[in-house]
Structure 1
Amino acid sequence: HDLAENRHPTRGSDETRAKAIEVFELGNKESGFNRRALIRNTLIGATILSVFPGLVIFRDLAPAADPVQLLKHTLWKKGTRLTRDPSGTPIKASDVTLGSVFHVIPEGLENAEEKLEEKAKAAVLLMRLKPEDLHVSPGREDWNYQGIVAYSKICTHVGCPVALYEQQTHHLLCPCHQSQFDITHEAQVIFGPAKRPLPQLPITIDSEGYLVARSDFTEPVGPSFWERKQ
């Protein structure tokens, strides 16, 4: 993704930025990210920025922490139902229509010992596209269910919540630094400073038609600063 790294963010129109701020703040409120310390010693509720209030940034891992292990393992596991954030209502595949977006958390999150920390790592955006619009890599053929895909909500640049989905282009936008991810191509970076795609959560349905995870994420969520330390 070196090409994306070399691009310079540009300022969008006032209308686009206003829409991004509105959606960001809604997603921020729903996800519980607002001004909270989320992962002790690793996730910091950042100070209020001039444009995007309540921004959460992943940074400053504790020296003894292993960032790969910390950010790779979440509450998602085989059979865990996808539920609406914040209600915790399980989601059926039939609930997800073309163009819709769901803010998602794993079932059972309310019982987690470190609820906010786990929520920060496990937050997901769920969308439905036409199956023929998806360009799927070998080995990922069963990671979506009839065009329904789930991706980490945490930007791979500095960890802001990705909140704006453009239905016409199928692009996800991070309003902090305007990184854009193409959902039709497995959330590849197409613009901005992010260095890698958003991690995808493999999903399917259970016997009752509810969407469930096939497994945890197969790579760490969040920003890629840990890659530079290896």
Structure 2
Amino acid sequence: MTSQDNMSEEHLPAAQEAHGGAVAVVGDSFADPGLPPHEHRRTDIDERAAARAERQVAFWFLLSMVATIGFIASYVLFKPGPQLSNVVYIFPIGHVSKLNFSLGMCLGVSLLGIGVGAVHWARTLMSDEEHIAERHPIEATPEVREQVFADFRQGAKESGFGRRKLIRTTMIGAMAMVPLSAVVLFRDLGPLPEKKLDSTDWAKGKLLVNMNTTEPIKASDITVGSLTFAMPEGVKESDEDFQEVIAKAAVMLVRMQPDDIKDKKSASWGYEGVLVYSKICTHVGCPISLYEQQTHHVLCPCHQSTFDLSDGGRVIFGPAGHPLPQLRVSVNGDGYLEALGDFSQPVGPGFWERS
């Protein structure tokens, strides 16, 4: 026996006396101490305390509902922008947008209310009893599965969800209103289109200008089998809204023999075989640029939608669902091509914005 063993034996009586019991040594076995005695919460034994906790939980859910309403109201009360009327000074952050600050605070309080309410509910009113679950194989037996469902039903019963109507009602109301914040966020994507998609920059008397040379186009300049891209006169690349205007007003001019035009209405909207169609594909809005002069077909390079320009821009292949809108044209006294109005229908891929 070593000196260390002797020292341990010498100190055993003192350790036993200090701890009031036997001291474990190597080789001893430990009995399972089990769980400590269950201590009931105040809300478990006092119904008034439980009712008070229920009101507190309901308060947090109601606060969430109010904050959601405030989130939505912020869009009406505050406007975005750097103007002094639209900002507020907050120490130590500095000047921030009233809109952004109110949106962030309201959304944060809304989510916080649901979270705090749920946690307070679980800690004060749901079942607080401890249960021992023995370890079991990964693959559950039918008995275990049945026990799981039974435990779930028991947990639902013990949570008081069905019995405590005030909590249930306010929690459902808070959770139902929170998604409204996400719906309102879509309003921040930009202004509503209103009637802007129903019309373009084309109007009666506007000349067709070559997109490459920016010069007005004469009907005599368009040869049979050619494809020319044009835009309305007065549109300049230096304009701030150039991309917005050209995205709807870009057109392509083709000329074919009058006998090759199948659709008589299209022929009447052209001039001596010169037809003008929107350059914007009616599938997803890609610019059309591929023309086959023998068949008079144009192909969208994005998804291969094919249109027959000799038949009113009809779709003959691909995912596009609508024909290309046609622009009615004529010539002025100098022989230049001019529009007689806007397109026959809204341009672009969408169906919902069509009148």
Question: TM-score, normalization: structure 2?
Answer: 0.44
Aligned residues: 168
How far apart in 2 are the matches of 1:115 and 1:73? 15
Higher relative CO (CA 8 A, sep ≥ 6), structure 1 or 2?
1
Structure 1 letter corresponding to 2:333: S
How far apart in 2 are the matches of 1:162 and 1:193? 14
How far apart in 2 are the matches of 1:155 and 1:114? 21
Partner of 2:253: 126
Give how far 1:141 is off.
5.0
Give how far 1:70 is off.
2.1
Give how far 1:66 is off.
3.4
Give how far 1:176 is off.
0.5
CA contact (8 A) 2:231 2:246 kept: yes
CA contact (8 A) 1:112 1:118 kept: no
Structure 1 letter corresponding to 2:241: E
Give how far 1:137 is off.
4.4
Partner of 1:20: none
Partner of 1:226: 352
Provide, for residues 79-104 of structure 1, a one-character-per-residue CA deviation record: whole Å limited to 9, x for no partner.
Answer: 11111103210000000000111110
User: 1:198-209 to 2 correspondence within 5 Å?
Assistant: 198-209=324-335
Partner of 1:217: 343
User: 1:131-210 to 2 correspondence within 5 Å?
Assistant: 131-138=258-265, 142-210=268-336
How far apart in 2 are the matches of 1:79 and 1:173? 30
CA contact (8 A) 1:72 1:218 kept: no
SS at match of 1:80: coil
Give how far 1:75 is off.
1.1
CA contact (8 A) 1:81 1:90 kept: yes
Runs of at least 5 residues in structure 2 that lack an aligned partner in the other structure:
1-185
How far apart in 1 are the matches of 2:264 and 2:197? 23
CA contact (8 A) 1:196 1:224 kept: no
The counterpart of 2:233, out of the listed 95, 107, 124, is 107
Select the structure of larger CA radius of gyration.
2
SS at match of 2:231: strand
- Output the aligned Cα RMSD: 2.3
How far apart in 1 are the matches of 2:353 and 2:200? 19
Identity of aligned residues (%): 51
Runs of at least 5 residues in structure 1 that lack an aligned partner in the other structure:
1-59
Structure 1 letter corresponding to 2:324: L
